[in-house]
Every structure is written in C-alpha cells, then in structure tokens.
A and B are shown apart, each in its own frame.
Chain A
Amino acid sequence: MVVVMYRTLTLPVVALVCLAASLGSARAQDWLLNAKDSHFYMQTEKAEAVIEVHQFTGLTGSIDKDGNAKVTIDLTSVASGIDVRDVRMRFLLFETYKFPSAEVTAKLDMASLQALLSNARVTYPLKFTVAMHGVTKELEAQVYVTRLSDKSVSVSTAKPIIITTDSFGLTEGLAKLSAAVNGTPIVSAASITFDLVFETGDRLAVVQAEQQQAARQKQAEETRPITADECQTRFAVISTTGAIYFKTGSAELDQASAPLLDSVADIANRCPAVKVEVTGHTDSVGGAHSNQVLSEQRAQSVVAFLAQHGVTSTRVTAAGFGDTRPVVPNNTEANRAKNRRIEFRVLQQ
C-alpha cells in the first residue's frame, strides 16, 4: 500500500518540481500564442434586435522574457458564419485591403505574475495598446491569467471590453455597412471577449508547427478559386467602398487606389471563368457629355490597371454612365462623393 501510494505520488511530485522550475524562471522564458486553443470574439448589435458574435481565428502572438507581449489579430479572418457579412466587414468596416490586422501590445509586470507560483489564477490589471485601422489607443482592462499547466497559461477578459467605432476612425465604415443592409441601424460600438492561451517549453515547437500550418491554410484560402457567386458578392461590396480615387476632372488613377484595386485584381484572378464589367459614374457637376466621357475614361483606367495585374482585358468590359445613374441625390458634397464611383459586376454568361 505504501509502495503504491509512493509510486502514484512520485509522478505529481516530478510535475510540481517542473512547474516550479518553469514558473520560477518565467522571467527567463518566451511564450507563444496557441491559436488553436485560443478564442477571440467581437460582439455587435444591429436593427435594435439582433446581437451577433463574430470570431477571429487568425491569431498570432508572443510574450518575451522581459514581459513584452504582442498579439496580432488577422482582421481578414473575421467569421460570422455568413460569407457576405464577412466580406462587408472586411472591405467596408475594417478596410482590410489597407489595414489587414489589428495589433495589441502590452508590457507585462512579470514580478506580479509570480503569484501564479502559488495560485492557479490571478486577476491582472492589463494596460495595453491597440493599433487598428491606422489609429493607436491605450486601453485598460481586468484580465484573468490562469495557469493551465506548467507550460501553458490563459489570458482572458474578466468583463467584456467595449470599443467604440469613433475611437478607431471606423464611423464612416459603419455607415457604409449600414447602407449595405438597407440602412439598418448598427450600434457604433462592439464588445470584445477573449481567451488567449500562451505556451512555453517543449510546447513551443508544437505551437510553431501549428502556426506554420495555419499560415499554409491561410495561403490556400486566399488563393483558392472562388465561384462566380462569391466573386459577385465581393464585387458588389467593393463597389460601395469609395476607395478608388482620381484627380478632379481627370481619368488618372490616384496612387491611393492601389490597395483596393489590388484586391479587385486578386478576386478577378481567382474566378478566371467569369467576365467582369467595370462601370464609371460621376456626380452631376459639369456637363452631361463631359461627365459621360470622363466616366468612360475612368473605367478604362481601371481596366488598364487590372490588365497590368494579370486580368486579361478580353475578360473585362468597360462602360461609362456619366451622371445618369446616381445612387443618392446629388444635393450634398458627401452624396456627390458617393455618386462618383467605379462599380464592378460579374457579367452573366
């Protein structure tokens, strides 16, 4: 009996000694985020009745020896369960063609995390910096740090973290999102909850291998052929971004248009069987004839850009409609800006 008891206890003792050793030297270790076991959710509300929870699966992160923590959230990985909704969030809200990811950085006080040597969980007042959509903000939130094993900790929100769209310059994107769903109001704030698992020791190799596999999957997902319907969904959303720019009264593309047009070329190249129509539209300022000519020339400029990026011009037709097809009345500058646009469409075969 004593022998059996001794044997069963030996293993846990070894484990404990290991744990003590690794936590004792926690200051001297690197930790990597395990994306497979981590969860990151964004909750949004629309139409005064619908609450939706979206998950971001593209997570990478690390904490170094000195407590410098960094987590990158791939905004293109937003998954609400509905493709068109994801496409809208990417192109209209986050503008992932310009700002593909959000980054969270923090400097952790490793000394205060030493409490994890004796407690499975500590409440930690996390001060962190969020860089998203070209804006950087300092935030503070209570998190739980839980020791899951001697090689793994979880960092999770004690309470949802509220983020407003105006603090990250996302108000205009939200308006575009709302317009895309027939003007359904969308609450201009979201709440974030997460549970991030960081691992160290011999788990590092495993996490690194998983990271590489995730990167390959992302690559495969981003280059997979898409159907004509998926192509049309993306073109319809992209047509409302308002992110193709020309000099006033000119058909010369502004450099700032490149990020979005690169996405258009990429999408067109992933559905090589479909024919694409590019149409130009102007506001009502100026004469009808000159607007007509300008809209045709602008569409041609876009076709030329696409041709330079692998979309053969035999697949693309260009047309101009001048000021004859406004999407909103030409009565304010903001509306006129919406009417000056390039639209993309899949032509039915």
Chain B
Amino acid sequence: MHRIVMRVVLLLAFVGAGLASAQAQEWRLNGKESHFYMETAKADSIVEVAEFSGLEGAISKDGDASVKIDLQSVASGIDVRDTRMRFLLFETFKFPAAEITAKLDMAKLDALRTATRIAYPLKFTLALHGISKDIEAPVFVTRLNDKSVSVTPIKPIIVTAAAFGMTEGIAKLSSAVNNTPIVSGASITFDLIFETP
C-alpha cells in the first residue's frame, strides 16, 4: 500500500512539474494521433466526410500556435475524387497547404492545471487558397495526460467557398461530376493532439 502511494506521489510530482511549466514549454502536434475532417454535401442527398492526414504544427512558449494542413493529403476514400479536389478545388499545384495560426492566451490555459477540460474561445487565422480570414470558434482543450492535450471544436466550423475564392473551383468540381450540384461550403471538425517532451 505504502509503495503504491509513493508511486502515486512520484507520478503526481511529475504531473505538477509538467503542468506548472506549461507556460514555458513548447508543444508539437502529433500528426498520427490527430484528426482533421472536412464535411461536404452534393447532389442534394450525399454528405461526405474527407480526412486530411498531413498535419504539422506547434505551439511556442509564448502561445504562438500554427498548424499546417497538407491539402494534398485529402482522403475521401475514392482516388479520383481526391484528385479532383486537389486539382480543381484547392489547386494544390499553386496552394499546397492551408495554415491555421493563433495567438493563445496561455494564462487562460492555466486552468488546465486543475480542470481536465476547458472551453476556450479560439480566434484564429485561416490561410487557404491564397486568402487569409479571421475565424472565431469555441474549442475544448482537454488535458489527456501531463504531456499531451487535445484541441477540438465544440461545434462544427462552417467555411464557405466564397470566402476563400473557391467558388470557381466548386463549379469545376461540379462539372467534373456531370454538373451534380455541390454545396459551396464545408464544415470542419478536428481533434488535434499536441505533445510536449
């Protein structure tokens, strides 16, 4: 019993140390454990969810966060559909990646020392297809353990094609599938895992 308590104490000392220095630590995105989904709808009846597996990111000591989404990694499960999205919609030959940047308020995230999860009003900039826009979305930040947190939107984030100059791309995509109408917007959900050494 005593030994178990000792171990718990040691473990806790670790957690305490890790979190106490959260402000002074760098975090790296674990691309393997993270998920980033884009949901689209077409033909008045089909809703599709595509995943982007090419994710890289980091959060600096000062709360400068950036996540790069490799648009060529789009995976809907159908090769020709992915190819069309790359070439016709995202034009990855010109704009290979989307980038999210944010300045996090590390003081607010301090609440994670006692709470496992907090709701955080995330303001971020999305650079996509040569256009940058400021977006606001509440996210949950969850402490998974003393070295890893998850960031996930509370509600799907809606992005319109018009906001990022992609209306023409949608039209090309539509004509590639016999003019099947495609909803000119998408919703984004993600679960990004950041880890610190």
Contacts and interface: CB of A to CB of B under 8 A. Distances in A.
Given A148-B117, A160-B156, A187-B183, A120 B47 contact: no
Interface stretch (A27-35, A37-45, A216-224): A37-45
B64 to A, nearest CB: 26
Interface in A290-322: none
Interface in B1-46: 5, 8-9, 12-13, 15-16, 35, 37, 39, 41, 44-46
A39 B156 CA distance: 11
Nearest to A147: B116
A193 B150 contact: no
Interface string A116-154: 000111000000000000000000000010111100001
A162 B144 CA distance: 27
Contacts of B132: none
A49 B184 contact: yes
B181 A158 contact: no
B136 to A, nearest CB: 15
Interface stretch (B91-99, B100-108, B185-193): B185-193
A191 B144 CA distance: 27
Interface string B52-87: 000000000000000000000000000000000000
A190 B184 contact: no
A115 interface: no
Nearest to B162: A49
Nearest to A178: B44
Contacts of B154: 39, 195
Interface string A35-61: 000010101010011110101000000
A287 interface: no
B158 interface: yes
Interface centre among B37, B39, B158 (most CB of A within 10 A): B39
Interface residues of B, number: 41
A13 interface: yes
B45 A189 contact: yes
A45 B183 contact: yes
Contact of A121 (B15, B150, B155): B150
A9 B35 contact: no
A146 B117 contact: yes
Nearest to A6: B9
B142 interface: yes
A120 B45 contact: no
A189 B46 contact: yes
Contacts of A17: 8
Given A39-B155, A43-B156, A53-B158, A120 B142 contact: yes
A53 B185 CA distance: 13
Contacts of A159: 35, 37, 49, 51, 189
A81 interface: no
A286 interface: no
- Interface residues of B, dominant DSSP: strand
B175 interface: no
Interface residues of A, number: 41
Contacts of A48: 181-184
B159 to A, nearest CB: 9
A122 to B, nearest CB: 10
A188 interface: yes
B12 A12 contact: yes
Nearest to A185: B44
A265 interface: no
B7 to A, nearest CB: 11
B41 A45 contact: yes
Nearest to B5: A13
A84 to B, nearest CB: 21
B140 interface: yes
A103 B37 CA distance: 27
Given A48-B183, A159-B189, A146 B45 contact: no
Given A48-B183, A154-B117, A193-B156, A188 B12 contact: no
17 contacts: A13-B9, A13-B12, A16-B8, A39-B155, A49-B185, A53-B155, A53-B187, A119-B145, A120-B116, A121-B144, A121-B150, A148-B117, A149-B116, A159-B51, A187-B183, A191-B49, A195-B140
Which 4 residue pairs of A and B lie closest in terms of their CB atoms, listed nearest first? A45-B41, A189-B47, A188-B45, A187-B41
